[in-house]
């Protein structure tokens, strides 16, 4: 279940539920809500009961000096050729990075970069790199649709706002696995198998997805790790002419940022890691924690839903447990009898797509009214269009039936970063009770969705580890107490690992906290970005 991503304009589950969602919000509320939910779910690999031993071995040798290895000098010294992006106010370029940092002469990858220059007034503070999470979320799209116009004006006045699609993502040599028609079938695969036949079909779908990635992305598949992407970020820093990297990363973007800080501690500038991941946890533990996180968010939604007259899951006095039972019963009904959606491709709303639609809405409280309407239409009018739209936003499927490469990139990075959550279905089946305990509604589908890395064509190159980034400047780690995708304890853990971390807590709902309407959080982070003054460790906002 890789959920390292933030809702976009962004999220880890293994199969589809784990990107991370953050504050990627377009200008209109509806677009903003969908964008946020879409980019937020993809981050974490599956999780299991009980943690695994923590490892301290770094992914790669830490770079502690400002010198550049001779084999990388041409990459660090390249001069960007900025051009018009076709989006007013933005300029774009492409930079090179080695395909394999262990063998810089073995070929290059080309990475898409976008920038919107500081608008003033005030002294320019350098570049501010943003990443919305995923893995697999397009940072360039996030910048153009939200960050460079939606971040606080005083921040945009002083920083050049910059984004780079990580290798394998969107405009940066995207990894692909399945064509659009095959993706339609894949997203409708039953992830709550009731018998051996359905289990075989699920395993077969996950094998075909993995095999498709191996066939279509063989060149890149071994070189899209988070450590690779972090090293690319340092080349970008040099190309932009900055001595230090200033960075705001959400969800999976926090893992990417923490990895950069561990590799290049002396090059860390002003760093904000919002909706933090815990790099010391195994894929299985991450997925189980995330399952519990979605249950926490659903409990909050349930309490809110029954206060509204349009809630189809119960009225005032209905308990969250009863709300969950009613939703689970509806999912079981869809499992055997999908309902119409009016979709041009003929898709009907079955259990898998409905579950994804509900999970997508958990990322952002602003989406709850839309979810109530969609559920009411499906449960009372036999119309699944609303839930299908939420599911499509999660998968980044457009009205023409075309998918972004979000799901392919999400799996490629997650399966390379950590060993699989489960070796196979027999091992997963033994762990199902723990997932069902963590979430009676979402436990089974999230558990089965975490099986995909078991069939991945390349082996993981890293393992769970603590990240300390000794010698780095102060890093602000932000955690939201009822975050569904990146549970609050992950932020507490990462802040405890990073040697220079300052933990900022938002007591609230939703995935990530910065620029989502809380004046305490926003003013604290703005002060840090503009003045370099980090908050006291342990500061709380409500």
Please give the positions annotated as active site.
251, 483, 511
The one-character DSSP state at 266 is G
Sign of the dihedral defined by the CA atoms of residues 15, 417, 209, 251, in that order? positive
Give the C-alpha separation, 406 to 411, whole Å: 9
Give the gyration radius of the chain's Cα atoms. Answer: 21
- Residue positions counted in the chain: 542
Distances in Å between the Cα of 156 and the Cα atoms of 44, 87, 130, 467 are: 31, 17, 12, 30
CB-neighbour burial class of residue 345 (10 A; exposed 0-12, middle 13-18, buried 19+): exposed
Q: At what angle do helices 368-381 and 351-361 cross, to 10 degrees?
A: 150
Give the C-alpha separation, 490 to 10, whole Å: 18
Residue 429 neighbours by CB distance under 10 Å = 14
First to last CA, the chain: 30
Residue 110: strand pairing partners = 96
CA of residue 272 relative to chain centroid, distance? 16
Give the C-alpha separation, 152 to 159, whole Å: 11
DSSP notation for 176-202 = --S-HHHHHHHHTS-SS--SHHHHHHH
For residues 514 and 526, the answer to whether their CB atoms sit within 8 Å is no
For residues 495 and 501, the answer to whether their CB atoms sit within 8 Å is yes
155-182 core/surface letters (b: 16 or more CB in 10 A; e: else): bbbbbbbbbbbbbbbbbbbbbbbbeeee
Phi/psi of residue 95, nearest 5 degrees? -115, 165
The one-character DSSP state at 505 is E
For residues 234 and 227, the answer to whether their CB atoms sit within 8 Å is no
The one-character DSSP state at 474 is P
Q: In 188-251, which ranges are continuous DSSP H helix?
A: 196-216, 226-240
SS3 content of the chain, % helix, strand, coil (to 5): 45, 15, 40
Give the C-alpha separation, 51 to 54, whole Å: 8
Give the C-alpha separation, 443 to 463, whole Å: 25
Instruction: Pick the closest to residue 297 from 365, 374, 251, 372 (CA basis).
Output: 365
């Amino acid at each position: 279940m890789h959920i390292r991503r933030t809702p976009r304009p962004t999220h880890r589950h293994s199969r589809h539920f784990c990107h991370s969602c953050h504050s990627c919000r377009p200008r209109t509320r509806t677009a903003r809500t969908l964008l946020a939910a879409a980019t937020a779910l993809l981050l974490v690999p599956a999780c299991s009961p009980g943690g695994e031993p923590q490892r301290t071995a770094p992914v790669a040798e830490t770079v502690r000096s400002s010198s550049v290895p001779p084999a990388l000098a041409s990459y660090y010294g390249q001069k960007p050729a900025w051009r018009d992006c076709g989006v007013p106010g933005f300029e774009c370029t492409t930079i090179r990075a080695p395909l394999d940092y262990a063998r810089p002469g073995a070929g290059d990858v080309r990475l898409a970069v976008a920038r919107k220059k500081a608008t003033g007034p005030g002294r320019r503070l350098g570049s501010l790199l943003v990443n919305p999470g995923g893995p697999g979320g397009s940072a360039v799209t996030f910048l153009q649709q939200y960050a460079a116009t939606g971040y606080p004006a005083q921040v945009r006045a002083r920083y050049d706002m910059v984004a780079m699609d990580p290798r394998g993502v969107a405009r940066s040599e995207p990894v692909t696995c399945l064509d659009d028609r095959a993706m339609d079938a894949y997203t409708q695969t039953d992830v709550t198998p009731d018998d051996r036949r359905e289990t075989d079909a699920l395993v077969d779908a996950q094998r075909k997805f993995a095999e498709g990635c191996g066939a279509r992305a063989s060149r890149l598949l071994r070189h899209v790790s988070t450590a690779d992407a972090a090293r690319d970020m340092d080349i970008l820093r040099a190309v932009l002419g900055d001595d230090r990297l200033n960075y705001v990363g959400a969800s999976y973007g926090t893992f990417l940022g923490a990895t950069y800080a561990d590799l290049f501690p002396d090059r860390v500038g002003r760093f904000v890691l919002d909706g933090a991941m815990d790099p010391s946890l195994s894929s299985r533990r991450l997925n189980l924690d995330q399952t519990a996180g979605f249950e926490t968010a659903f409990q909050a939604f349930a309490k809110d839903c029954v206060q509204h007259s349009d809630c189809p899951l119960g009225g005032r006095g209905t308990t969250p447990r009863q709300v969950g039972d009613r939703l689970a019963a509806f999912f079981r009904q869809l499992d055997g009898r999908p309902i119409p959606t009016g979709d041009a491709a003929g898709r009907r709303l079955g259990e898998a797509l409905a579950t994804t639609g509900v999970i997508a809405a958990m990322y952002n409280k602003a989406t709850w009214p839309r979810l109530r309407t969609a559920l009411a239409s499906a449960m009372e009018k036999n119309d699944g269009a609303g839930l299908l739209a939420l599911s499509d936003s999660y998968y980044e499927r457009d009205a023409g039936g075309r998918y972004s490469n979000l799901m392919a990139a999400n799996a490629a990075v997650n399966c390379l970063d950590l060993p699989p959550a489960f070796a196979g279905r027999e091992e997963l089946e033994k762990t199902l009770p723990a997932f069902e305990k963590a979430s009676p509604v979402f436990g089974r589908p999230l558990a089965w969705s975490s099986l995909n890395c078991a069939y991945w064509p390349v082996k993981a190159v890293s393992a769970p580890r603590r990240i300390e980034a000794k010698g780095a400047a102060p890093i602000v780690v932000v955690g939201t107490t009822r975050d569904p995708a990146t549970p609050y304890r992950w932020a507490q853990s990462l802040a405890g690992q990073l040697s220079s971390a300052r933990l900022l807590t938002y007591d609230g709902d939703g995935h990530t906290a910065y620029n989502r309407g809380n004046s305490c959080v926003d003013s604290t982070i703005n002060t840090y970005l503009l003045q370099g003054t980090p908050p006291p460790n342990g500061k709380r906002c409500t």
